[in-house]
């Protein structure tokens, strides 16, 4: 796993973020089970609920590109500490990753924190939780 490459891909995607309302540009990159990198940035909208986070954009790009599972992910944004995905993104990540899938959280000053999907969202809602 080349974390520098994954963080760089997230950082490059962040440049394209559309964040005129929050001013908080985020980039994310996924290494998929097919060995390909897929990146995403956040895209805001005047109707706030219609925007999309960088993490989900990267995952949706992975699915559109033929990837099935997340092997690893990196997320980067400005701030005083490494940035973590929001709750909605954490739930989407659990759909395409195992609990032990690594996620590198980063900020623009070089701070990083390696966590797992399971650490980000313990007790995630899963397919098995649906009624039969």
Active site positions, annotated = 55
Nearest to 30 by CA among 80, 95, 119, 81: 95
Beta bridge partners of 18: 43
Alpha-carbon gap, residue 113 to 110, rounded angstroms: 10
CA–CA dist 45, 3 (Å, integer)? 31
Sign of CA dihedral 112, 11, 87, 126: negative
> Is residue 17 helix, strand or coil?
coil
Closest CA to 14 of 46, 41, 47: 41
């Amino acid at each position: 796993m080349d974390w520098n490459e994954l963080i760089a891909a997230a950082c490059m995607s962040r440049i394209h973020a559309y964040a005129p309302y929050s001013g908080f540009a985020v980039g994310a990159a996924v290494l998929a089970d097919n060995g390909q990198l897929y990146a995403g940035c956040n895209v805001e909208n005047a109707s706030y609920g219609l925007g999309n986070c960088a993490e989900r954009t990267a995952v949706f790009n992975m699915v559109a590109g033929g990837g099935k599972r997340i092997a690893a992910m990196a997320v980067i944004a400005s701030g005083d500490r490494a940035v973590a995905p929001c709750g909605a993104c954490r739930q989407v990540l659990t759909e395409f990753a195992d609990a032990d899938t690594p996620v590198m959280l980063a900020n623009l000053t070089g701070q990083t924190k390696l966590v797992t999907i399971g650490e980000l969202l313990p007790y995630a809602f899963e397919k098995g939780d649906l009624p039969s």
